[in-house]
Amino acid sequence: MKTILVTGGAGFLGSHLCKHLLNKKHRVVCVDNLFTGSKQNINRLLGKPDFQFIEHDIIDPLYFEETIDQIYNLACPASPVHYQANAIRTIKANTIGVMNMLGIAKKHNSRILQASTSEVYGDPLQHPQQETYWGNVNPIGRRSCYDEGKRVAETLFFDYHRQNKVDIRMARIFNTYGPRMAQDDGRVVSNFILQALAGKDLTIYGNGQQTRSFCYVDDLIEGLYRLMNAENLIGPVNLGNPGEFTMLELAEKVIALTGSKSKVIFEPLPSDDPKQRQPDVSLAKEKLGWGPIVSLNEGLKETIKYFQKI
């Protein structure tokens, strides 16, 4: 049994990860400031003896007496609406917060995994994106607090690794969706499903020809777990589903699967919105034996069921 710290553990991905780790019989310490996460996401875990919740912002230092064996660092708002709402806090989480977590890893000799992102590739000129691509990122735009924040977080991880021998793992996560996304999250999958279920028009930003590749949460969590426990790979490694869809195609799928009478409407495209995104996951396949198994249709059905229930 390992003691595992999950920052951002009350969020969408974090809550699934905490559950997965408890199922694997580990002790889980979940740290979250509840900015975009909620206790509701972890309410089934709160009473468990091997689960501890600490309401805390990783921007502030944190100390543990017990030994921490592993750290998954997920604490950072992931939706453009939320990470742009307080851009400076987003940068702080990805710099000061990341250094605080790397400091814990250094002190406890823990292995630490960073939830990095496909956003480090920016508006990519290489397609599909491989881990060797350095990206095309605007350093001064509205998305920069997140994109550049996550890039400097990667730099910090690799410098702590080189300089202080910290045992790191770096996952580059591509758009992931599923149950327990917040209703006010603002990302495309939850927006479209909620709009379709309410019979409202689905809001397509721009002309809807931009693409994303959507990974179901269960697949992603399995990939994170395998990377954390791999001995032959520190990353960076892409984790995502290579199936690539335009936002118009996604809207049509959601309308069909919900049986909604909703139409689509077009709204202005936010600045620096990437035009295309598709992971090359051959590294994860080769080194971790990992690949996504849930199709977009199956995953959307599960997610729709969840939003219908709540």
Catalytic residues: 146
Among 21, 58, 120, 137, interactor with ligand NAD by CB under 6 A: 58
Q: Which is nearer to ligand UDP, 161 or 187 (CB)?
A: 187
80 is a contact residue toward ligand UDP (CB under 6 A)? yes
* Separation of CA 101 from chain center: 17
* Separation of CA 236 from chain center: 15
Q: String of b and e for 290-304 (b: at least 16 CB within 10 Å)?
A: bebebebeebbeebb
Give the angle 117-34-151 at the CA atoms, nearest 5°.
20
Taking the complex as a whole, the smallest distance from the CB of residue 60 to ligand UDP amounts, in Å, to 27
Taking the complex as a whole, the smallest distance from the CB of residue 48 to ligand NAD amounts, in Å, to 18
**DSSP SS3 for 251:** helix
Among 3, 11, 62, 202, interactor with ligand NAD by CB under 6 A: 11
45 is a contact residue toward ligand NAD (CB under 6 A)? no
Among 28, 29, 37, 300, interactor with ligand NAD by CB under 6 A: 37
274 is a contact residue toward ligand NAD (CB under 6 A)? no
Under rule CB under 6 A, which residues in 20-59 are in contact with ligand UDP?
A: none
Taking the complex as a whole, the smallest distance from the CB of residue 63 to ligand UDP amounts, in Å, to 34
62 is a contact residue toward ligand NAD (CB under 6 A)? no
What six digits make up the tokens of 66?
A: 């017990």
144 is a contact residue toward ligand UDP (CB under 6 A)? no
Give the angle 225-229-231 at the CA atoms, nearest 5°.
145
Give the C-alpha separation, 148 to 230, whole Å: 27
Task: Name the nearest CA neighbour of 68 among 56, 52, 55.
Answer: 52
Quickly count: other Cβ atoms within 10 Å of residue 66's Cβ: 10
Taking the complex as a whole, the smallest distance from the CB of residue 219 to ligand NAD amounts, in Å, to 12
Site string for ligand NAD, 103-122 (x = CB under 6 A): ------------x-x-----
Q: Which is nearer to ligand NAD, 36 or 262 (CB)?
A: 36
Give the angle 139-141-142 at the CA atoms, nearest 5°.
130
Give the C-alpha separation, 109 to 93, whole Å: 22
Residues that bind ligand NAD (CB under 6 A): 7-8, 10-14, 32-37, 57-59, 74-78, 93, 97, 115, 117, 173, 175-176
Residues that bind ligand UDP (CB under 6 A): 79-80, 175, 187-188, 191, 203-205, 210, 212, 247, 270, 273
